[in-house]
Every structure is written in structure tokens, then in C-alpha cells.
Amino acid sequence: MRQTFCVTGLDCPSCARTIEDGVKRLPGVQECQVDFASGRLDVVGDVSPATLAARVHELGYNLIEAVEERKDASASSISLLRFMWQRSDTRLALLGLVLILPGVILEELLGIHHSLVTIASLGAWLAAGFPIARSAWQAVRVNRDININVLMSIAGFGAVAIGAFTEAGMVMVLFAIGEALESYTSERARHAIRSLVELMPERATLLRSHRGGELTSESEEVTVTVLRPGDVILVRPGERIPVDGRVIAGLSTVNQAPITGESRPIDKEPGSEVLAGSINGEGAIEVEVTRLASDTVLSRLIQLVQEAQARRAATQRFVDRFARYYTPAVVALAGLVMTLPPILLGQPFVDLAVPSAGWLYRGLALLVVACPCALVISTPVTIISAISNAARHGVLIKGGAYLEMLAQVRTVAFDKTGTLTYGRPVVVSVRPANHADADGTAQHCTDCAELLALASAVERHSEHPLARAVVDEATRYSLHTRYPAAETVTALPGRGVTGRVEDREVMIGSHTYFGQKVPHPEEHCVAAERDAQLGRTPLMVAADGEYVGTITVADAVRPTSREALDMLKGMGFSKLVMLSGDDAAVGTQVGYQLGIKDTRAELLPEEKATAVQALRSRYGGVAMVGDGINDAPALAAADVGIAIGAAVGGTAQAMETADVVFMSDDLRRLPFVFALARAAMRTVQVNLALSLGLKLLFVVLVALGMGTMWMAVAADMGTSLLVTLNGMRLLRSPSPAV
């Protein structure tokens, strides 16, 4: 049995490891994983929630049901002081802060010693140190583990033993407050992922419900979990759409930015698909439910983003392994520092007059300065911030491993159909009979508008892709209502279609059929043949037997594709390749339009995968960009497989199989993703350098007797906060250019 919970009180990845080790020791637990980035505890085995909660509480943390995570998410918006006041251990740390101030001011700064000051310092040590010592004891007793709380407890007890009462209190107070600050900043980064859950409305207005095959009218507020495919709901202006569905009544615009990252609202009319979590505009719409609340695009997005935290980057895995051996090694080193100089060189072990001069004190200070918190927190906060940033802009990166690989990619291969092009027929040119050598547009040309209006009247009720392309183009220029839908529409198999529009007989047919039946200008004949050679489909139109013009339909290049490719070239991607299953002439033409020099056409799916493997062998890291359906072999063969249009195309396969998923089909997100990955890896490197560099500096200072324990704690906590805040910058920057 698999159970999922949310853990509160996590300050750093070491805390997550402590819980993980402790829960694994419970009878019946087969697997256990605690993810610091998301605060999730996943347990597999026969163990009760009460037993799990007791063990987690025993280790110094709290467990809540995953369903309560939504309510707990608001904690990220409260002030730091209120956040600290909510937890008993941090309330004790605040008490310790008040008690330690006399010792800091009078003893450390003014050199005034008094018994009351000593009592206050001991009180600060006890108040702030009690939760730390309790957690340390549980870590040793339950996990047989030496963690950072053990190190701090040893240092605090040792300082009291040699009479450094103010330092003992200061060490515990600074450490406790520093841990609280880490927890606060980490919770804010963690909330960026949890905020996706808040996009999902909990209730919906049910208008009609299908139950047992009978249609009943209810018109009531219900929870989204009771909605089933076929139910009809009402979405009022300004409301979030609660489930995926299809508009059956009403007109509106919908802001899909929370899901797809699209910057502009999308017009919705009867027949349009809508996504859960998107925001309805100015019109009320009735929506037929097409998916259960648990199966919506947003639900899958949330699930996959949460699972992404388990796929750690290689750097993060190395740091986690390093930290497991680092802490015991530091304890051994501190023991040698305490004992070897007094034994071999006759140096003082303890100096009661000047405690910092004794080697016991220096060994204790080394325990403090070697705390691994800053090191282990430097990478996960950066990774989760970058993944959260991407998710907010409609891009799902399935883990730190893929983020790290994206930063190493220098070659990008693209599928053509559905990726660089629309993947469906659209009108690419309108050529009326009196246009000799140029294509017109329905926006500026009266004859073009008339040609398009006539054709759309005949094609109005057809579901053929070519017919839909004509109707969509007419609708784009508001020409679909110029004429009523044609009457007595008749299909001519292999040739075309006819229909009566008002008092005229309108025919739409192929170039071959018109060559036999309807005379047309030579230049239009040449243009049609040229279009056919380029993989386009010319649709010739006649009215009452007289040629009116040609509408050319093709799978057109997306307007954003060229812009995206130019942005990639500006980022240093010199090797961009197009892999297509289409005819070589078509592939060459599309490549020319986009400025891609390396175009490979007439490839089967397996041959695309072979081409990707060849690119990897020659150029190193390769990303493959496709629609996630017939490009599966090539996506799998690449170092990073990127699928586009998972939300707008409704392709669940894309979200499940690719390493990176674009919820929209706008390729301009691609430069953003690469820039984000590079920024993340730079930030990780800077954070690691800061963590290790400052630690090394203070180790030297402590060894020379120039560093104190409270200075070491302040430096370590300061470094932890610094790397955390540095990683959290990636929540906002970089952002998509468009």
C-alpha cells in the first residue's frame, strides 16, 4: 500500500534524510522517500498513518495528510515572525534571543561579567538548545546517525563545560533562528509548486447531469470530484474553469496562461476545448465535462511536477552522497584537533581564562563551522525554483536531471509536421481570377474576400480537414456569414464538391478536374502546379461554370517558429536540424523558410531515431523537439526529449513520455527553457563555491584560534540563507521574452 503525506518543519535536506532513515526502520515499511523540495513523504508498506505520524513527531517534525496540503499552502504568505511563532521550537529560540542579549552586550562587547548575565546565558542555551538536543538524541537513538543537531549539541555542551556560557547560548540561539530562517525561505520556494494546486477550483455549478443514462436538471453547487463526462456545468465571467471540457453554449475569451503560458486570451465558442484552471473572461459559458477532475491536464501537470522532484540532478546526487560521509568525518577530525596538539605539542586542552585558546574549544568550533546545511541546501532549492518558474510559464521539466542536461545541449533536432508547422491544413494563399501573379488577402482585397466567402458557404458543414481550413480562414475575416450555407451540397468523389449558394451553382475542385471541365488562365495553371510540387493543395473555385479563383491549402509554418530558431542561433546553437517524413521538396522548402540548413526528409520514425543517435555521436548533447506521438523513438533517443502542445492538442502521451513538455505549441518557449537551465546550473556552481569556500575559510580561522563558535554559526547560517535566496531568484528570472 502506498501512502503520501506532507511533512512540516523541514529546514534542509538533512532533515528529510533523518525522517527517511527513521521511517524505514518501522516494521512493515518497504520503501520510503522524503523529498525536501516538495515536502512530500511517500511510504510503501503495511504501516498505519498513526504509526508514521508518531515516528515523524518523535524525530521532531509533523505529518499532515496530503489533502491538507492545500490548506497549509497559505503559510508561505505569512510574515517571518508569525511563521516562527507558530512552532514551539522557534518560540523557544525567540525566548533564547531575548535572554542572550545581556551576555552579548555586557560580556562580549563591554567586558562586564555578572552572575545574572551568566544565568540569562544559561537560560538561552537551555531554551534554544532543548529542541536541538532532543532531535539529536532521537537521531542517535532511532537512526544511529550523527547529524547536524548532534554536532551542535556537542558544541553547546562542550562550551558550557569550559565556562563559555554566553558562547554556548549564542551558538544555540543563532543555530535555531538560522534553521527557522532556512525553513521559512525553503517553504516559500516549496509553495511555488504547491500553488499549482490552488489553480484547481474545488466547486462547480452543475446544470445538467447524466446519471444512469437519464438527463436530470440539478443546477446546484457541487464538488468537482462528483462531475462525470457528459455533465454540463456553468462557468460565470471571471471564474476558473473547474474541469476539462467542451463549450456547448456561449461565447467568451479564456486566459489559459496558468496552464499553457500563452500571453493572450483565447476566443472560445461552441465546440472549443477548455482546460481546468484557466480563467473565463467576460462571457458566461456552458461546458460539457470531458474528463474527470483527477484526469484533467492540470491534474496530470501537478502530479508530474511533484514527481519531478525525485529525479535529481547528478550534482545534487553527488552532494547528497558527500554529505552522508562528510558529517562523521568532521566529528573524527574535530576529535583529532582536540587531542593531538595537547598530546604531541603540549598545548592546552582547556584554558578556563581564555576558553578560545584551548584546543577543546577549537575542536568544538570546528564541529560548528563544518555544518553541511549550506552545502546540501544549495542545489535542491535552485532546482525546485527553476522547475517552478518553468511550470508557471507552461513548461514541465520532469526533474533536475533533465534541467542539468538541457544546460549541456548544443544541438537541437526538430520534427517538421506539428512542431515547426501547424500539423493541419490552413489557407496559405488566395488567388482570385483577376490576380495574374500575386496572392491577395481577404483583409485588403475585395475579390479575395468574395472568393473565400463563396467557398466557405459550400464547405460550411463539411468535417474534411481541407474544408475546415477554408471555413476557419473565412471566419478569421468575418466572411463566414456573408452567404448562407449552401444548399443541395453534393460530393464529387476524387474531384471536389458542389452546392447552390443563393442563386449560383458553386463548385470547388482539384486542378486536374478543372483542367478538364473549367477553363482558367495559364498563369493560374502554372501556379497550381507549382503549389502541388511544394506539397500544397490548390482548391479551384467556379460559380455557374465560370472560374473564380484558387484557394491554396497547406500545412503552413508556424509564425513563431522562425523567431524561435533565430533566438536559438543568438544563444549559440549553431547546429539546428529538421527531421521530416515528408517529401524532400516539401522539407527543403520548409527548411528554406526557417533558415535551417540541415534538412533531412522522407524519414521513418525509426530513421529519425537513428539520425538523432548520429547527431549525439558527432556533436554531443542533443535535444529532440516533436509532438510526442509519432516522434516517440526520436524523443527517446535524444539526451532530452521535448514534446510541444500537450494541453492544446490534448496528447496525454506527450506528458507521459517526454522529458520536457510544452503545454502550448509556441516554440518561443524553447529559448527560455535553455536560458533557464543554463542559469540554474550557473547558480548551482556559485552556491557550491560559496558554501565550500566560506567553510574552508572559517576552518582555517578556527584552527588558528581566530574564530569563535558563534561567529562560525553566524557564518554558516548566513551562507545557508545566501545560497537559498540566490537559488530562489530563479523563481522569477529568467522569464520568456514573449
User: Identity (one letter) of the amino acid at 311?
Assistant: R
Reference 640, options 307, 402, 395; nearest CA is 402
b/e code 367-376 from CB counts within 10 Å (16+ = b): bbbbbbbbbb
Euclidean distance between CA atoms 641 and 405, whole angstroms: 11
- Helix 88-102 crosses helix 115-143 at what angle (to 10 degrees)? 150
Euclidean distance between CA atoms 426 and 440, whole angstroms: 15
Reference 414, options 201, 247, 702, 611; nearest CA is 611
Residues in the chain: 738
Euclidean distance between CA atoms 486 and 459, whole angstroms: 8
Reference 417, options 574, 563, 596, 601; nearest CA is 601
Starting at the edge strand found earlier in the chain, the sheet holding 504-509 runs 426-432, 546-554, 537-543, 504-509, 496-501, 487-492
Helices (H), 144-164: 148-161
- Rg of the chain over all Cα atoms, to the nearest angstrom: 33
**234: enclosing H helix or E strand:** strand 232-235
Q: Where are the beta strands (DSSP E) in 451-609?
A: 487-492, 496-501, 504-509, 537-543, 546-554, 575-579, 598-600
Distance from the first to the final alpha carbon of the chain? 45
How many whole angstroms from its chain centre is CA 663?
A: 11
Active site residue 415: yes
Euclidean distance between CA atoms 467 and 541, whole angstroms: 13
Q: How many CA atoms lie within 13 A of 465 on its CB side?
A: 9
Q: How far is CA 268 from CA 246, 260, 376, 465, 507, in A?
A: 9, 15, 48, 20, 31
Give the active site residue among 21, 35, 231, 415. Answer: 415
- Give 465-473's long-range contacts (Cβ < 8 A, gap of 24+): 465/424, 465/425, 466/425, 466/537, 466/539, 466/553, 467/497, 468/425, 469/424, 469/425, 469/426, 469/427, 469/553, 470/427, 470/539, 470/551, 470/553, 472/426, 472/427, 473/426, 473/427, 473/430, 473/442, 473/551
Q: How far is CA 463 from CA 274, 467, 483, in A?
A: 21, 7, 19
Cα-based angle 341, 347, 351 (whole degrees, multiple of 5): 120
Which residues are known catalytic residues? Answer: 415
